[in-house]
A = this chain, B = another copy of it.
Amino acid sequence: MTRVALAFDLGGTELRAALVDGEGRLLAFASVPTLAREGVMAVVGQIEMLAETVRREVPDAVVAGVGIGAPGPLDPKAGIVLGAPTLSGWHDVPLAGILSDRFGLPVGLENDANAAALGEWCFGAGRGANSLVFVTVSTGIGGGAIADRRIIHGRRGLAAEIGHMTITDTGDRCFCGAVGCFEAVASGTALGRRATAMTAAGDGSRLRVLSCDAAVTGRDVVDAARAGDPMALSLLAEEARWLGIGFTNLLHLYSPDVIVMGGGISNGFDLLSETIEATIRSRAMPAYRDVPVVPAQLGRHAGLIGVASLILRDEGEAMPPATEADLDHQPGATPAGPKEAIHG
């Protein structure tokens, strides 16, 4: 009999489920396109269905609880999804309570970026750190910060909105309306946009060949750079410089033991890291300069593994020890690994 968590990653396009064991391994996995426009109960129905699917695969597993990652903003303590742009009609949904009723199990809810941070911390590139910042660089930039062995939540669980810190006066206006957001200059979208502006359809450049003469994506830039394309390498150097500036801020503000970089652009981590580190060395105060920046290890399953860690209690070194403190408001709840609220 294996003790597992039933883990869900609720995205706007895909709903994923897994059984995750105490060592962060996926014993079963299933996914469906999210019925994002059909309201809360349709999605709850999908969750129940996926639960049956994965439980059937490992019939002797003992499910200790349910962890679910969902788009923010959400209130992890109250277990409420406050309202996500990608889930229509989701406003103040007490998702943890609903699932606790359905499954009769304790439920932990966390936003997707924090969930990935937890996963990398417990079982990935950030194992053993007391403090960690996870940064995902893809279409946008998001992240989660763990300080002194706890996720930083802040008011309404809204901390670590890393992509919208101002780091410059230049660049295109961010979708949020401001100028100079980290995301607006350093996301994969920004990288692709710069590459698109430097090339033209039909110009025969490697970037446009890779993009089939459509707009160039950040991933095209990484692929072209890996093949040695000089323009792509120069674009990646600029990308790495922006990442280095943003990461330097994260060092000064959170003082992590390690920065873990995930997301699509981290596929080019090996091509970026030298300039990222040089930028940090030239801009960070001396005490922060030797903090490592490392690529994420868990890929797209980081969030599933992270929410599982909300449930599975500490039984080994990889899992940070629990404290009772954060469960004060939930007397009788199973002590979790990382110190998040458990509902049930």
Contact = CB atoms under 8 A, between A and B. Distances in A.
Which of A148, A169, A326, A339 gathers most chain B CB within 10 Å? A148
B154 A249 contact: no
A283 interface: yes
A167 B176 CA distance: 17
Contacts of A93: none
* Number of copies of chain A assembled together: 2
B324 A154 contact: no
Nearest to A154: B255
A162 B325 contact: no
A254 B154 contact: yes
A153 interface: yes
B323 A162 contact: no
A257 interface: yes
A243 to B, nearest CB: 13
Contacts of A161: 252-253, 255, 285, 288
A288 B160 CA distance: 12
A130 interface: yes
B153 A150 contact: no
A52 interface: no
Contacts of A197: none
Interface string A138-175: 00000001011010111111111110111111100000
Contact of A325 (B155, B156, B159, B325): B325
A326 B253 CA distance: 22
Interface residues of A, number: 50
A148 B158 contact: no
Contacts of A285: 161, 164, 176
Contacts of A136: none
A62 B115 CA distance: 47
Interface in A173-194: 176-178, 180
A155 B169 contact: no
A270 interface: no
Contact of A252 (B130, B164, B325, B326): B164
Contacts of A159: 131, 147, 253-255
Interface in A323-337: 323-326, 328
Contacts of A283: 166, 177-178
A73 interface: yes
A249 B169 contact: no
Which of A145, A180, A257, A283 gathers most chain B CB within 10 Å? A283
Which of A150, A154, A170 gathers most chain B CB within 10 Å? A154
Given A147-B147, A150-B150, A323-B323, A252 B155 contact: no
9 contacts: A130-B155, A155-B255, A159-B253, A161-B252, A165-B252, A166-B249, A168-B168, A178-B283, A323-B323
The 10 closest A-B pairs by CB, nearest first: A154-B255, A323-B325, A325-B325, A158-B255, A159-B255, A161-B252, A165-B249, A147-B152, A131-B154, A155-B255
